[in-house]
A = this chain, B = another copy of it.
């Protein structure tokens, strides 16, 4: 049936993305070759081009995963709504809940910022709003005092980047404790 073929293709596509995600995090986007991705999947490099038009396209798809993670549900991207500190906290709390299941994706972004931005420059018509770009736009709202905007930036960067450190050294903590403490930290920064 057509249905089966479609799902099989989709499955392979997702498998490629999973492998690419692991390698991009471990070695970095630029130092990971398509040959390596293909080898780990058990087929040849050329086969990747049946599923993705280019290497950038693979990163773009992973970008999309992260984008979905941040901007779906949770009331984002705030269709026209003006940002407030309260909304910011709500958004970050929602995001923190998703962290344990999506560490790799966040690590990808943290460790390959330059590659993501180059992608954005090149394919600006497809990447309509980069992650950082949308958050920056929210932080540019002049109706919020500068000092509060600094706090909002620190809070966001703290949970994104703090994860890289905590991943290895805090294995003793459960996900629930981690999530809970990240929220407390965010609330402390934003004085809620």
Contacts and interface: CB of A to CB of B under 8 A. Distances in A.
Interface in A98-135: 110-115, 117-118, 132, 135
A182 interface: yes
Nearest to A141: B169
Interface of A: 27-31, 110-115, 117-118, 132, 135-136, 139-140, 146-147, 149-151, 153-166, 168-170, 172-173, 177-178, 181-182, 184-185, 188-189, 191
Q: How many copies does the complex hold?
A: 2
Contacts of A161: 153, 156-158, 160-161
Contact of A157 (B29, B30, B146, B158): B158
A27 B10 CA distance: 33
A150 B181 contact: yes
28 contacts: A27-B114, A28-B117, A29-B30, A30-B115, A31-B114, A31-B115, A110-B113, A113-B113, A135-B165, A146-B170, A146-B177, A146-B181, A147-B181, A147-B184, A149-B166, A149-B170, A150-B181, A150-B185, A151-B181, A154-B159, A154-B162, A155-B158, A157-B157, A157-B161, A157-B163, A157-B165, A161-B161, A185-B189
